[in-house]
Homo-oligomer: A and B are copies of this chain.
Amino acid sequence: MASFLRTTSRIRPLARLNAYRSITTTSRSAANAAAARMPEASSGEQPFFPDEPPAPHIRTAIPGPQSKKAIEELHTIFDTRSLNLLANYQNSYGNYIADLDGNVLLDVYAQIASIPVGYSNPSLLLAATSPEMASSMINRPALGNFPSHDWATILKTGILAVAPKGLDQVFTAQAGSDANELAYKAAFMWKRRQERGGADVDFTAEEISSAMNNKAPGSPELSILSFSSAFHGRLFGSLSTTRSKPIHKLDIPAFDWPQATFPHIKYPLEEHVEENAREEQRCLEETENLIKTFHHPVCAVIVEPIQSEGGDNHASPDFFRGLREITKRTGTLLIVDEVQTGVGATGKFWAHEHWGLTEPPDMVTFSKKAQTAGYYYGNPELRPNKPYRQFNTWMGDPARALLFRAIIREIERLNLVQNTAEVGDYLFAGLEGLSRRYPDEIRNLRGKGQGTFIAWDSPRRDDFLKKAKTVGINIGGSGERAVRLRPMLIFQRHHADILLEATEKLVSS
C-alpha cells in the first residue's frame, strides 16, 4: 500500500478548486452541487461561473519570484524558452488563469484556443470523475482492433452529434496535426483508387515493391495544395502544407507540394468590396491553375476558414464557395481545417457554416476545443478499399471523446454558440470604437460577425502582448503583427468590458 499513500499524500488536494469557489472536495457530489449552482442558458449578464473572480488581480511582476524559481527548475529537464506563464490550474477558474505567485488573469488566449468551457468547469469535472471516464483512462483500447462495445454510442452521442452537415462518419485522431495527416492519407488513397479504376482493382507487383523503397508508383508523387500563410500542423506531412512562419519550417525536410496565394484582403471589408473580390478571384484562378498544372498532381486542397496562426487572415464566403466549385470541377478533394475555428468560436459550431455551401466539404478536421481530434467525411469512397490502410495503435482516445461529449452538452445547456455570437458582436463594436480613437494602434480590425474570433494588427505587437499581462490580460498573437482574441465560449459582456478597458489602457499609454 505504500505507493498509494505516496501517490495521494503528495497531491495538493484540488481543495478549493480556486480561491474564489466553495467546492471543498472533488467528490462527485460536490462537483454536482457546484454544477447545480451554474445557471441555465443566459443571454445577458447573469454569469455562467457565478464564483468567478470579479476582475483580474495582479500582485507581482510576471513571472513573479515563485514562478521564476520553478521555471528555472523545470528548464533543467524541459525546454522552457517558449514559456509564457507558469500556471496553477487548481486555482484557475472560468475565464481566469492563475499563476504560481497569486496573479489571476483574464484569459483570452485559452491554451492557444483550446479550452472551450472554462477552467475547472464543474460539468466537465463531473464527466472527468465518472466511472465511464475512469474505465476509459485505465483500459485504453487499440480502437481499430478492440473497440469498446459502447464506442458507437459514444460517437453518436458525442463527436458525431455535432458532425458538419452532410458528413456522417469520422476517423478519430489525437491532435489537429495528425487529424490533417490522416485526411491527407485518405485523399491519396482515394486518388489512387480513382486512377487505378475502382476499389476492386488490386495493387500491381511494381507498386508493392516500389512502395517498400519509398518510390513511385507505390509511393506516388502526389500532393496536397495549401495556401500561403496557412497553418496545418508540424508533423512532416502537415508541416509541408504549413506556410505560416520560417521558424516552423527551417531545417525540416518537406514534400514538394504547391501553395496558392491566400487572398490579401483589406479591412474593413465593407469599404473594399470590389477590390477584395478581385483579389479573391485572382487567388482562385491561381489555385485552379496550380491544380491543373503542378508537377505533382494535386489530390486535395486544404484551407482554414480563418488563417488562425498565420495572421488571422479572412476571406469571404464567395472565396470559399469558389474553392468548393473549383475542387469539384477538377476532381480534387476539399479539406476544411477547423482545428482552431471549430466548436463555436466563430458564433457557429463550425466556421464553414458561414459560407452557405450547397455541397459540403469532403473532409473537415477538428481538434483543440474538442479536446480530441479527427476528420469527418461523408463519401463512403473515402474509406480505403482494404482494412489496415488507415490504421494505428490507438486511433484516437475514448477518454477524450467522452470529454468532448461533456463539452458539447455544456455548450448546448448554456447555449454557448449563440452566446459567443452575441458577445462577439458586442466586443467587436467596442473594438471598432477603440480603433476609431486609436487608429494607429488598432489597425485592420477583423472578425466582424465571426463570434469572438477577432484580431487586429498592432504596430508594437509583441510589446502589447507582454504589457497586457501587467493589466491582467493573457492574450496571444497571430502571424507577425496580429493580436488574436481567442476567449472561451463562456466569455461574456462583462468580460468583454474588462478586455476593452484594458486594451484602451494599453493602446493609449
Residues facing B in A367-403 (CB within 8 A) are 368, 371, 383-384, 386-394, 399, 403
**Per-position 1/0 for A201-224, Cβ under 8 A of B:** 001000110011111001111110
Q: Are B214 and A256 in contact (CB under 8 A)?
A: yes
Counted per complex, copies of this chain come to 2
Chain B: which residue is nearest A258 at the CB level? B214
Query: Bound state CA distance, A335 and B147, in angstroms?
Result: 32
What residues of chain B lie closer than 8 Å to A89, measured between beta carbons? 135-136, 139, 141, 148
Chain A interface extent, by class: 35 or more
For the complex formed, measure the closest distance between the CB of A414 and the CB atoms of chain B, giving whole angstroms.
9
For window 30-72 of A, CB contacts with B under 8 Å fall at 32, 35-36, 67, 70
Q: Which of A129, A156, A405 is most buried by chain B, counting CB atoms within 10 A of its CB? A: A129
Residue in chain B with minimal CB distance to A100: B149
The answer to whether B111 touches A142, judged by C-beta atoms less than 8 angstroms apart, is: yes
The answer to whether A1 touches B90, judged by C-beta atoms less than 8 angstroms apart, is no
Give the contacting residue for A137; candidates B76, B222, B403, B405; CB below 8 A: B403
Q: Given that A77-B169, A170-B77 are known contacts, is A147 also in contact with B83, CB under 8 Å in the complex?
A: yes
- Chain B CB count within 10 A is highest, among A35, A139, A399, for A139
Of B135, B145, B181, B234, the contact of A112 (CB 8 Å cutoff): B145
User: Of B114, B181, B237, which is within 8 A of A142 by CB?
Assistant: B114
Complex Cα spacing A192 to B251, Å? 6
* Beta-carbon contact of B383 and A79 below 8 Å: yes
CB-CB under 8 A from A135, the residues of chain B are: 14, 89-90, 120
Per the bound structure, the CA–CA distance linking A148 and B413 in Å amounts to 29
Q: A464: CB under 8 A from chain B?
A: no
Of A130, A168, A386, the most chain B CB neighbours within 10 A belong to A130
User: Can you list 19 contacts pairing A with B, beta carbon distance less than 8 Å?
Assistant: A7-B405, A14-B135, A74-B147, A76-B169, A77-B170, A79-B384, A89-B141, A119-B138, A124-B137, A128-B138, A177-B178, A178-B178, A193-B251, A214-B254, A221-B253, A222-B253, A236-B240, A237-B237, A247-B386
Q: Which 4 A/B pairs are nearest by Cβ-Cβ distance?
A: A236-B237, A81-B387, A14-B131, A214-B254
